[in-house]
Amino acid sequence: MLIKTPQRSQLIESDVTNESIYHDRRSLLKNMGFLGAGALMNAALSKNANAGFFSDEVPSFKTQPLSYKQDSANQGLVKTPEQKVISHNNFYEFGAKKDQPVELAQGFNVDPWKLTISGECDNPITLDYDDLTKLFPLEERIYRLRCVEAWSMVVPWIGFSLVDLLKKVAPNSRAKYVAFETLYDPKQMPGQANRRLGGGIKYPYVEALRIDEAMNPLTLMSVGLYGKTLPPQNGAPIRLVVPWKYGFKSIKSIVAIKLLEHQPSTTWKNLAPKEYGFYANVNPNHDHPRWSQESERRITSGGLFTRNRIATLPFNGYGEEVAHLYQGMDLSKHY
């Protein structure tokens, strides 16, 4: 990749990139071809570069309005504008650059959809597309989303707690982990068909949580954002949102959830275990081997060159709700 590695994450776009270079970059990148394989979240290298991209693409996918209970506790959080939430994405199945998912996912077919929940449980079930928004009352959750690449957003998700779904299938005593799998469909997901476009990931994308993490009421199955069903680039029709962990745990477009006795393999840990751990709790005291995690660039309504660097909080600010899950664990070992 063309992008230079910064010394520390304190830099922002305007420290390293002048505006005319930024405006030329989109066409430049198009001419360069796709991102290098496995350079992985190497957009991270580019937090001073393409992590600042917002596509000017007008999404054509039709989203539907949802009925839900408002998040009355968090209306005070300054939300990232919807246009930025839906045009600055990590969804490698539709390309490893931030502006590719909104361009390449608009034809994604989400209905019919099947989500199976099985494994170590008494009542395995399969949900179809309508079940996803009708099975449980929906609520808004305004959460901070902190990407491991050191940018963040505040997103008004709509969904239900994963624990409600898990209760329905009745996990048995062997269920120690919950594993998630994204759809594998190279015909629809060009990043799965083209290794370079898909960032060198071995698909399907898989993630997992410990069962107590999965049962925590903050852990959300999201079916929408900003009052409407999810657009494909954000993980339609259903995705996970785990707000105290780096964003890569929040797996998109889920087709299978499995209760397991043993810890399964997960996509980023598998690809680069020294850089991405199983836990991936947001931790300003544990740097990524190639950059600091002490601070983050909050994406807000300001322009690309606004200084929005803020301190990163342990557990992304949700320590009161989740720190007890990790009592006695060395979090620099279990990163």
CB of 316 vs ligand MTE, minimal distance in Å = 12
CA distances 155 to 57, 225, 241, 267, Å, are: 20, 7, 10, 24
277 Cβ contact list (under 8 Å, min separation 6): 269, 334, 335
Judged by CB under 6 A, the chain residues 52 through 91 that form the site for ligand MTE are 89-91
Backbone angles phi, psi at 177, to 5 degrees: -135, 155
Q: Which is nearer to ligand MTE, 120 or 207 (CB)?
A: 207
Which one of 42, 46, 250, 312 is in contact with ligand MTE (CB under 6 A)?
A: 250
Report the chain's terminal Cα–Cα distance, integer Å.
27
CB of 149 vs ligand MTE, minimal distance in Å = 7
CA distances 130 to 223, 237, 252, Å, are: 11, 10, 18
The Cα 267–Cα 276 span in angstroms is: 9
Judged by CB under 6 A, the chain residues 3 through 62 that form the site for ligand MTE are none
CB of 205 vs ligand MTE, minimal distance in Å = 4
Q: Which is nearer to ligand MTE, 44 or 121 (CB)?
A: 44
Judged by CB under 6 A, the chain residues 147 through 176 that form the site for ligand MTE are 147
Q: Applying CB under 6 A, does 315 fall inside the site for ligand MTE?
A: no
Which one of 42, 133, 182, 312 is in contact with ligand MTE (CB under 6 A)?
A: 182
- The closest residue (CB) to ligand MTE is 247
What is the dihedral sign for C-alpha 41, 45, 49, 51?
positive
CB of 73 vs ligand MTE, minimal distance in Å = 22
The Cα 298–Cα 282 span in angstroms is: 15
Footprint of ligand MTE (CB under 6 A) = 89-93, 145, 147, 182, 205, 234-235, 247-248, 250-253
